Chains A and B, each alone.
Chain A
Amino acid sequence: MAISTATKAATDALAVNRAPVSVGAQEVHKWMQSFTWDFDKNRTKYSTKYKMANDTKEQFKLIAKEYARMESVKDERQFGSLQDVLTRVDAANRVHPKWNESMKVISNFLEVGEYNAIAATGMLWDSASAPEQKNGYLGQVMDEIRHTNQCAYINYYFAKQGQDAAGHNDARRTRAIGPLWKGMKRVFADGFISGDAVECSINLQLVGEACFTNPLIVAVTEWASANGDEMTPTVFLSIETDELRHMANGYQTIVSIANDEAASKYLNTDLNNAFWTQQKYFTPVLGMMFEYGSHFKVEPWVKTWNRWVYEDWGGIWIGRLGKYGVESPASLRDAKKDAYWAHHDLFLLAYAMWPTGFFRVSLPTAEEAEWYEANYPGWYEMYGKVYEEWRARGCEDPNSGFLPLQWFAENNHPIYIDRVSQVPFCPSYCKGASTLRVLESNGKKHSFSDPWGERMWLSEPERYECQNIYEQYEGRELSEVVAEGHGVRSDGFTLISQPHTNKDGKLWTLDDIKKIGCVFTDPLKAL
């Protein structure tokens, strides 16, 4: 159209219709796919054996400003609730103490996952070639910043308002001392960002988010609420509203590589490895946080696990991807066995290593013991009796001079660390499937607790060179390690972590630990 007639047409059009006109997000988004262009160097900086298709679309068609609008509406609601009514009713001081402690770990560890997901989705934004697919990942980059801040807000809130600020106020400085940290980093940090970009997407989105986010973020709100905590549901349910986008991103990753030949060769192996990687930590740790980190119980972990992981994810979600050649992971059946006993095994060790935590842990009460036995028959014989013995020997009392770690030594039950998952295990005292395998390479010994992880190590040992806590602390005395890792309260000598949450119970100090003379020794050296 010639220029002058266009002007006339505009004028004429206005004469007929002066209705206000604006532009909607969708009208802009529909051009997104054409925003890129071909050039020689246009390739990702992160290698992947798969090829992502150039025309992959996204499901959530947002532009930057519309994204901001939607998120800020949710933020106003959420922070409004926290700052207004929940503060007025002093909600942080109406949370069961056991749960107050659990949120130190849950919120901070999830924060690490959220934080690393920023970098992970940055890598995927780089790897994808289709602008819409890039845009989907970009939305997630921003979401994960949001979630990082939200998780932080929980600890910030509990520190400021709640009954025990220690650990909430300094988790980022003290969290690295204990045995749960390294394993968490594998699943929540390095597993998302270090590897083939598509493999990382599978770890983060297809497994981490589609599979474990439901139990983690949704189930945790039910446990929180039962234990008096309404802050966590306020924040976590708001996080969850973004997760649909992330699961859709994971789905689109698969769609984008479905026609690539590499998918038929590698996809199911990568999925199986990713699933095992994630479940190896989350299955025991989530079960432990829920069941042992609460007083009021929602349902046995094994039920939650079967519903969300086995049926919903392994069945329905993976089933939907079946048309792209995706199969249910071969390791799912072994994982299902872990869902029954692994968290009980792990708590036994976590409790025993309590001084290295940044939270207080408690032995099951009589009421709780009854609940475990009813839901996990055989629990008392294996665990309940041990806890009774520990309690009788004064494990909660700083004057007793007894740390449950001594019980493991006395009874010749060494605790090992699995090289690949970094999860501690005690092969001679467990009901779960842990078995000990030790391999040597370059003069260094490596212990493994399951064949799936061992196989990952055998094919790529250079990916799993990380020292474990024994190698790090070898020969050092426990109270020294705790002090160096800032595991003390503001008085400078009382530990943040404690072996009980009894309101009148005495608190342990560095001296109480020092007296016992507990020194780190690597059990692999004895082999």
Chain B
Amino acid sequence: MSIEVSGGKRGLTDPVIAAQILAAIPDKPLETQRKMNYFVTPRGRRLNEYEVLCCYTQPTPDWIAGGLDWGDWTQKFHGGRPSWSNESTEMRTTDWHKHRDPAFRWHYLYVKDKAEEWRYTDRFLKAYSADGHVRSIDPVWRDEVLGDYLGAFGFSEYGLFNSHSSVTRDCLGDTIRMSTAMIGLDKVDNAQMIQAERTFLAKIVPGFNESTDIPKAEWTKGQIYKGARETVEDIWQATYDWNEILFSGHMIYDPLFGQFVRREFFLRLSAYYGDNLTPFFINQMQLYHSQTKGITTDMFHTCLSADTEFGEYNDRLMRAWSDKWLPRTVNALKDFMGIFAKIPEIKGVTSKDAIQAALERVFEDWERDYAAPIGYKVDTAAHIKTILTGLK
């Protein structure tokens, strides 16, 4: 039969089929509007590819703010709870579809960047090892700080990573969902980079222990990460409001505790101990941190705080959440101060004045970029004072 195409004949290349197809095609296109998603409000001057490919992929009913669909869910949870619903968060908005990743990364662009980072990591490690650089690392720093305490910090990143699972399930917008998965993946990437560094050290320093046993004991039983661990556990598993999970993790805990540990401890100090390896990895984490900051400040400030109808309410809620999560984060930092007793002191670098200056940098950044935009008043000096009492 002539219309049944056998043997994998292709309509594009088989001359007989191709001729029939061409004869059926209208002489001129039937529609002049060729822009997909032309009805979407662009963030910038014109709709970009990210907005075309991502916006309104979620079938949201119109009783969830910003939705284009109608009616109810076709199947619900046992007991009748809806698939997605407004009561999954205390936040309110006129449009859950408003968020944009400021870098406009859809999947292709996101993995492209990370793939480049991986290839470059591989080349860097080869050069680093061949260069014999590892000889210059202070042995206490290498075996105790990197081996144990950097390893233990990996659990903080891993726990935060897992806090994104329920947000990926529950959140109410498509661009938010994609952003959440991406910033979540960056967190597990951080945990894996920490392990990669330790495994790498084990390969070039005979006797270096790459096992996760000691770091895990430090994380679960030690004093240095006690406050951090308890906070991460609560963000990950004790918080159900998906906005609060993102807020507590990315607007309070990570920009304070995470930034101090990564930037002001490992990154700043490593050079003093002859360690040029750790900055390579931490700098990647800092890149992810800044990309994440772009995403979460877009969600919480550009969209929710600036919402025409609910902005003030959202600000009040975020201030309440700050009241809840800031003391825990301060406590985590206070516990972390114990680490300075474990390393050989370098005057003006690891002494109290330098630690205080480092804390001031982190808190100043936080106050400017996270607290002020929601009108949150913070007594930075008092918090730093509390934290410094943790110095042994």
A: which residues have CB within 8 A of B? 1, 3-7, 9-11, 13-14, 18-23, 27-28, 31-32, 34-39, 41-43, 45-47, 63-69, 71-73, 75-76, 79, 89, 91, 93-98, 111-112, 115, 118-123, 125-126, 131, 134-135, 138, 141-142, 145-146, 148-149, 152-153, 155-156, 159-160, 162-166, 168-170, 172-173, 175-176, 182-183, 185-186, 189-191, 193-196, 222, 225-230, 277, 295-299, 367-368, 370-371, 374, 422, 460, 462-467, 472, 486, 489-490, 501, 503, 507
Contact = CB atoms under 8 A, between A and B. Distances in A.
A155 B210 CA distance: 48
B238 A125 contact: no
Contact of A169 (B35, B121, B229): B35
28 contacts: A5-B207, A20-B129, A27-B196, A28-B192, A35-B155, A64-B185, A64-B189, A66-B118, A75-B108, A94-B25, A119-B170, A123-B168, A125-B165, A145-B107, A146-B111, A163-B25, A165-B29, A165-B32, A166-B31, A172-B37, A172-B68, A176-B70, A296-B3, A463-B78, A465-B80, A489-B33, A501-B24, A503-B26
Interface in B1-44: 1-5, 8-12, 17-18, 20-22, 24-27, 29-39
Contacts of B75: 186, 190-191, 194-195, 277, 463-464, 466
Contacts of A173: 39, 56, 68
A462 B80 contact: yes
A460 B77 CA distance: 10
A238 B275 CA distance: 42
B224 to A, nearest CB: 15
A176 B139 contact: no
B53 A156 contact: yes
B119 interface: yes
Contacts of B135: 7, 10-11, 14
A379 B238 CA distance: 59
Nearest to A471: B71
A498 to B, nearest CB: 9
Contact of B74 (A163, A296, A466): A466
A131 to B, nearest CB: 8
B68 A122 contact: no
A41 B237 contact: yes
B108 A149 contact: yes
B2 A465 contact: no
Nearest to A121: B168
B73 A169 contact: no
A72 B115 contact: yes
A148 to B, nearest CB: 5
Given A23-B125, A72-B112, A225-B10, A42 B212 contact: no
A228 B11 contact: yes
A228 B203 contact: no
Contacts of B178: 118, 145, 148
B223 interface: no
Contacts of B111: 67-69, 71-72, 75, 142, 146
Central interface residue in B77, B169, B238, by most chain A CB within 10 Å: B169
B245 to A, nearest CB: 10
A194 B196 CA distance: 37
Given A46-B169, A66-B118, A134-B162, 9 more contacts: A10-B205, A13-B204, A21-B125, A63-B196, A111-B57, A119-B169, A149-B106, A170-B38, A422-B74
B267 interface: no
B181 A18 contact: no
Contacts of A138: 184-185, 188
A127 to B, nearest CB: 8
B240 A45 contact: yes
Nearest to A294: B3
B54 interface: yes
Q: Which 6 residue pairs across A and B have the least CB separation, nearest first?
A: A122-B168, A228-B11, A20-B126, A68-B114, A462-B80, A65-B118
A3 to B, nearest CB: 4
A191 B237 CA distance: 25
Contacts of A460: 78
B71 A467 contact: yes
Contacts of B52: 152, 156
B380 interface: no
Nearest to A229: B11
How many chain B residues sit at the interface, stated as a range, is 35 or more
Contacts of A73: 115
A59 B3 CA distance: 43
B272 interface: no
A28 B2 contact: no
Nearest to A227: B11
Contact of A230 (B2, B12, B213): B12
Contacts of B113: 68
B79 interface: yes
Contact of B189 (A65, A141, A185, A371): A65
B309 interface: no
B309 to A, nearest CB: 23
Given A69-B119, A75-B111, A185 B74 contact: yes
Contacts of A20: 125-127, 129-130
Contacts of B112: 68, 72, 75-76
B10 A463 contact: no
A165 B36 CA distance: 8
Contact of B78 (A75, A115, A146, A195): A195
Contact of A10 (B5, B169, B204, B220): B204
B111 to A, nearest CB: 4
B83 interface: yes
Given A94-B11, A119-B177, A138-B188, A463 B77 contact: yes
Contacts of B1: 370-371, 374
A233 B128 CA distance: 43
Nearest to B284: A65
A23 B119 CA distance: 11
Contacts of A120: 169
B83 A152 contact: no
B219 interface: yes
B161 to A, nearest CB: 8
A72 B119 CA distance: 12
B17 A9 contact: no
B216 to A, nearest CB: 6
Contacts of B298: none
Contacts of B186: 64
B353 interface: no
B375 to A, nearest CB: 31
A489 B31 contact: yes
Nearest to A22: B125
Interface string B65-88: 000111111111111111110000
Contacts of A175: 59
Contacts of A134: 162, 165
Point out which of B76, B117, B135, B140 has the most chain A C-beta atoms below 10 A from its C-beta: B76
B192 A34 contact: no
